[in-house]
Structure 1
Amino acid sequence: MAKAFQWIRSILFVIQMYIMLPVIGLIYLPWALVDRKGAYGGIHGYCRWVRWTAGWMIGLKTEIRGQIPTGEVIVASKHQSFLDIIMIASVLPQPKYIMKHSLRYTPVLGWYASRIGCVAVERGKRAEAMRKMVKDVKHGVMPGGQLVIYPQGTRVAPGVDAPYKVGTGVLYRETGQPCVPAATNVGVFWPRTGIYRKPGLAVVEFLDPIPPGASIDSMMTVLKDMVETRSDELMAEAGFVRSEG
């Protein structure tokens, strides 16, 4: 009975979450059209709405730990579900993401993403997009802020191992910006796919920055160790037990 009730709560939560996306987007649109601050305001407003409603509708509390990055930095985060995107975007002053090219055509979301300088990457053309992005950063074409990248390139379910891609290291070297690792346990409660959401405490934690100047190999080794170690600890804290073999 309890699980059936949680299913109903999850369905209602997901429905309102998608209804409120265009509603909040339209509320902030006049401001966003004339000032990029309005676009950030709309994104912060929507993401904080999702976090707030998750707390009382499905019993999923959210918590940000560590020092929130500001200024020109790369945020390299573990990616387990849509929730870690929401949580990170809710607190970064000027977030921008590397995203799938198809998302550019998503109503409301696509326009806001373009407005804040998100980088759309086509399948098979990631290296080309990276080169253009580095060039835009160096020449001041891209809006400033915190560039969020997922080193594993996709959502990875708890307990699943996936390689870290070198693109994060290349960005780190070419931009000369510090890299802030971020760990999470959100996938324990909010899965990669599906509607069912579990109650609990979802955490995103910003870790100590990796200063600029290290080699790509060294930086990637440190990044992986920091993110995976802390994510495993956060998932264990949430009650997740990694299966053996």
Structure 2
Amino acid sequence: MKDAIQWIRSLLFNAYMYLCVLVFGIVYLIPAIISSDGAVAACHAYCRHIRWAASWMIGLKTEIRGEPPTYECMVTPKHQCFFDVLMIYGAVPRGKFIMKAILKYAPIVGQFGLRIGCIPVDRGKRGQAIKKMVSDVKAGHAHPGQLIIYPQGTRIAPGVKAPYKIGTGALYRELGQPVVPVATNVGVFWPKRGIMRKPGTAVFEFLPKIEPGLEVADFMARLEEQIETASDRLNKEAGFDG
């Protein structure tokens, strides 16, 4: 019975989350058209609201640990579910994602994503996107802020091992910016698939930054070690023993 009630709460929360996309998109439409700052404000407001709603609708509280960066850098989070996208963006002042190109056609999400500086990437053309991104940064055309890139490229469930993509290393080498890894255990409470959301406290931990200048292989090894070690620790803290 308890699980059935939590499933219903989860279903209502999922519906509410998508309804809020429409509401916030309408409320912030004019500010977003006028300025990219308006789009950033809309996305931050949405992230704060959903974080608050999750705490009472499904009992999923959240905690930010470490120092979210306020300077220009790359942010490389562990990606376990949609909710961590909101948490990471809401924690930094001027985030922008590398996103699937198809998302730019998604109503509201695509338009606001482009307005905040997200970079659409066609599947199979990541190399071209990296080259354009580097040239835009060097030419001063890119939006300043925190470039958020998922080093494993997709959602990975807790306890599952998956390779770290070399594209993150290429960006590290070419951009010459510090990299801030982020660990999380949110996947313990919010599975990769399905409706059920579990109550608890999801932790997002900003780890010590990695300065530019390392060889790519050394950087990738350090990045993986930091994120995986911290995420495994947070998973155990949340009661996950897989």
Scaled by the length of structure 2, the TM-score of the pair is 0.99
Task: Determine the C-alpha separation between the residues in 2 that align with 1:192 and 1:3.
Answer: 18
Partner of 2:184: 184
Encode CA deviations 1:127-157: one digit per residue, 9 max, x unaligned: 1111111111111111000000011010001
Partner of 1:211: 211
- Secondary structure class of the residue paired with 1:52: helix
Stretches of structure 2 that go unaligned for 5 or more consecutive residues are none
Q: Which runs of 4+ in 1 moved over 4 A?
A: none
Task: Determine the C-alpha separation between the residues in 1 that align with 2:95 and 2:26.
Answer: 20
Q: What amino acid maps onto 2:18 in structure 1? A: Y
Q: What amino acid maps onto 2:132 in structure 1? A: K
Partner of 1:20: 20
Stretches of structure 1 that go unaligned for 5 or more consecutive residues are none
1:193 deviation in Å?
1.5
1:119 deviation in Å?
0.8
- Secondary structure class of the residue paired with 1:22: helix
Q: What amino acid maps onto 1:185 in structure 2? A: N
Task: Determine the C-alpha separation between the residues in 1 that align with 2:68 and 2:168.
Answer: 19
Encode CA deviations 1:39-72: one digit per residue, 9 max, x unaligned: 1100001111111000000000011110011121
Partner of 1:43: 43
Task: Determine the C-alpha separation between the residues in 2 that align with 1:203 and 1:112.
Answer: 27
Q: Say whether 1:130 aligns with 2:130.
A: yes
Q: What amino acid maps onto 1:182 in structure 2? A: V
1:237 deviation in Å?
0.4
Task: Determine the C-alpha separation between the residues in 1 that align with 2:23 and 2:152.
Answer: 32
Partner of 2:97: 97
Partner of 2:201: 201
Task: State percent identity of aligned pairs.
Answer: 57
Q: What amino acid maps onto 1:132 in structure 2? A: K
- Secondary structure class of the residue paired with 1:23: helix
Task: Determine the C-alpha separation between the residues in 1 that align with 2:180 and 2:91.
Answer: 14
Task: Determine the C-alpha separation between the residues in 2 that align with 1:186 and 1:136.
Answer: 33
1:240 deviation in Å?
0.4
Partner of 1:233: 233
